[in-house]
């Protein structure tokens, strides 16, 4: 080896090795940002797949893929057809609750509950990206279901009841129950024992639960037994995950719980679970919804699992990781020039497909106005995506084709049908009005208005932890002009209630009128400040 070659070889090592070391140590939580609650995970060889709840949004149950547990990419949805997912008049935070994702003998299973119609079901697929089968219904009244296959070849339905966790044998081909329901464990005494998952390890059946409700007292607890139907012994370390204690009281992440465990190919154990980021430490408001977090798990042979050493986590996790395999960064701007929208876009309930077009005007999304208001539990003309960070800028440009003053179109920040901020354009006499409307419970009022001469406008929202700034582009001034700032807290879960997070949407409505009004959206841009 020549001196010149040695010099370049050493320099290359010095350049590459630190990157390799950094790439396998440390990551940031959450791993799925914005409204992505109730995560469930499975592994097939070196690939990880994960599903989260979607409630009243369509398509239902997003499916994600990862090679390293940290970097995730959405590959589809489980429920993409109205025959799979009836959401007619689904109430806010109704629809799909708490799915589980499992893999068994070459087939993927998603197990879930549609609380707005049908109850418990499971769907199957050979490929997690889909297509998925129509639901196979299970006649058990409950929520938060899972399926467990024991060594005896039988299939068991594991689910939540008011009194605790129940296990029932089912026919995996038909979903029919084959045994009575067995009440196996009531948890540690916390309220709402839910989200059950069964694992078999070292001759024990471990039963992992969420307890305390999915708010600030949420936690993950675990018990074990030599027998599937119990009795289950309470883990002396319980809760194995919680921020409702002194160690977690000042953490920006709160409400951690509803966990699922997974073992990687290198034998390391990990937990995925939900939590939420409050607007700042010691604040009691969260607007992004419940998100998906990750933590390492120490699970010694014949012992109990413990999450991240002391049962708490952080935004910055300084722990060894699997070798990182990131995906390409998604683009922030949607130009509406592709034949289909990306997986990040969601409808409210089952959409009326004729109300949307990407081909009527090339490079535009056309939305026909629905007679329904955003306040109604109907198939409103709306399509949106998750607010994923407190700091962001969202922008769109639209043209409204309208003859009546009741007709409107615009950009909305919506937590649910009774809590949303609408930045809109509508006809007003011979001119047009840019308006900012506030809907908070029974209170609805016009917060700001500016008249313009054209039926075309650019709208912008700038988000910060404590406020949203709403603006429109003033062509005479040649810049965005602020209409008003509004508090974020009135769109928080603590004020609005429910289980979802803020969605940023494009919509068109005739406010109760029959209409031929429509809106053409030229683009949608959503830029976030990197955490």
Active site residues: 38, 194
Half-sphere exposure of 229 (CA within 13 A, CB side): 9
For residue 14, the surrounding DSSP H or E stretch is helix 3-22
In a 10 Å sphere around its CB, with 0-12 CB exposed, 13-18 middle and 19+ buried, how is residue 118 labelled?
Answer: middle
For 280-313, the DSSP string reads: STT-----S--EEEEEEEE--TTS--EETTTS--
Torsion sign (Cα): 496, 501, 506, 507: negative
CA 315 to CA 28: how far, in whole Å?
A: 5
- E runs forming strands in 243-388: 253-263, 269-277, 291-298, 306-307, 316-320, 333-334, 346-348, 356-357, 365-368, 382-386
CA 296 to CA 24: how far, in whole Å?
A: 13
CA 351 to CA 383: how far, in whole Å?
A: 9
Measured torsion, CA atoms of residues 103, 105, 108, 112, in degrees rounded to the nearest 10: -70
Exposure b/e, 253-288, CB count within 10 A at least 16 = b: bbbbbbbbbbeeeeebbbbbbbbbbbbeeebebbbb
Overall residue count recorded for the chain in this entry? 531
Q: What is the DSSP letter of 501?
A: -
Phi, psi of 488 (to 5 degrees): -70, -25
CA 175 to CA 156: how far, in whole Å?
A: 10
Q: What is the CA radius of gyration of the chain?
A: 25
Nearest alpha carbon to residue 510 among 408, 396, 399: 408
Q: Are 308 and 293 in contact (CB under 8 A)?
A: no
Q: Are 255 and 216 in contact (CB under 8 A)?
A: yes
CA 70 to CA 22: how far, in whole Å?
A: 14
**Residues with Cβ < 8 Å from 448, sequence gap 6 or more?**
435, 436, 470, 483, 484
The token duo for 187 is: 């948890």
The token duo for 186 is: 């009531």
């Amino acid at each position: 080896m020549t001196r010149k070659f040695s010099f370049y070889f050493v320099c290359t090592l010095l350049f590459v090795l630190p990157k390799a070391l950094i790439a396998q140590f440390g990551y940031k939580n959450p791993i799925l940002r914005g409204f992505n609650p109730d995560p469930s995970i499975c592994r097939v060889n070196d690939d990880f797949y994960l599903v989260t709840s979607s409630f009243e949004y369509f398509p239902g149950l997003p499916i994600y893929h990862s090679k390293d547990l940290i970097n995730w990419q959405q590959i589809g949805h489980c429920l993409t057809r109205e025959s799979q997912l009836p959401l007619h008049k689904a109430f806010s935070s109704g629809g799909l609750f708490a799915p589980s994702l499992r893999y068994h003998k070459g087939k993927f299973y998603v197990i879930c509950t549609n609380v707005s119609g049908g109850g418990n079901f499971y769907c199957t697929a050979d490929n997690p990206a889909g297509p998925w089968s129509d639901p196979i219904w299970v006649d058990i009244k409950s929520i938060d279901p899972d399926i467990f296959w024991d060594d005896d070849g039988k299939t068991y339905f594991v689910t939540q009841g008011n009194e605790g966790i129940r296990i029932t044998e089912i026919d995996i081909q038909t979903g029919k129950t084959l045994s009575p329901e067995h009440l196996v464990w009531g948890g540690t005494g916390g309220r709402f024992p839910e989200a059950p998952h069964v694992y078999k390890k070292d001759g024990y059946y471990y039963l992992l639960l969420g307890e305390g409700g999915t708010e600030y007292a949420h936690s993950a607890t675990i018990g074990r037994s030599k027998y599937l139907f119990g009795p289950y012994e309470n883990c002396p370390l319980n809760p194995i995950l919680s921020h409702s204690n002194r160690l977690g009281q000042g953490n920006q992440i709160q409400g951690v719980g509803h966990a699922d465990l997974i073992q990687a190919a290198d034998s390391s154990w990990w937990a995925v679970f939900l939590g939420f980021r409050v607007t700042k430490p010691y604040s009691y408001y969260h607007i992004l919804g419940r998100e998906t977090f990750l933590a390492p798990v120490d699970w010694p042979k014949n012992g109990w699992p413990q999450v991240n050493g002391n049962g708490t986590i952080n935004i910055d996790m300084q722990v060894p990781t699997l070798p990182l395999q990131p995906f390409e960064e998604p683009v922030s701007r949607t130009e509406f020039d592709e034949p289909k929208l990306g997986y990040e876009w969601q409808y409210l309930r089952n959409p009326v497909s004729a109300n949307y077009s990407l081909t009527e005007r090339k490079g535009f999304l056309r939305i026909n106005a629905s007679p329904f208001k955003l306040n109604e539990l109907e198939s409103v003309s709306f399509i949106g995506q998750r607010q994923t960070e407190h700091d962001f800028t969202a922008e769109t440009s639209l043209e409204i084709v309208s003859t009546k003053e009741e007709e409107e179109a615009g950009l909305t920040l919506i937590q649910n049908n009774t809590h949303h901020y609408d930045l809109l354009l509508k006809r007003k006499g011979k001119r047009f009005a840019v308006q900012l409307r506030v809907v908070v419970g029974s209170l609805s009022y016009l917060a700001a208005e500016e008249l313009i001469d054209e039926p075309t406008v650019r709208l912008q929202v700038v988000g910060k932890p404590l406020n949203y700034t709403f603006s429109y582009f003033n062509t005479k001034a040649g810049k965005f002009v602020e209409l008003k700032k509004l508090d974020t807290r009135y769109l928080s879960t603590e004020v609005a209630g429910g289980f979802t997070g803020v969605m940023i949407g494009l919509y068109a409505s005739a406010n109760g009128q029959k209409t031929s009004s429509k809106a053409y959206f030229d683009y949608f841009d959503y830029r976030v400040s990197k955490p």
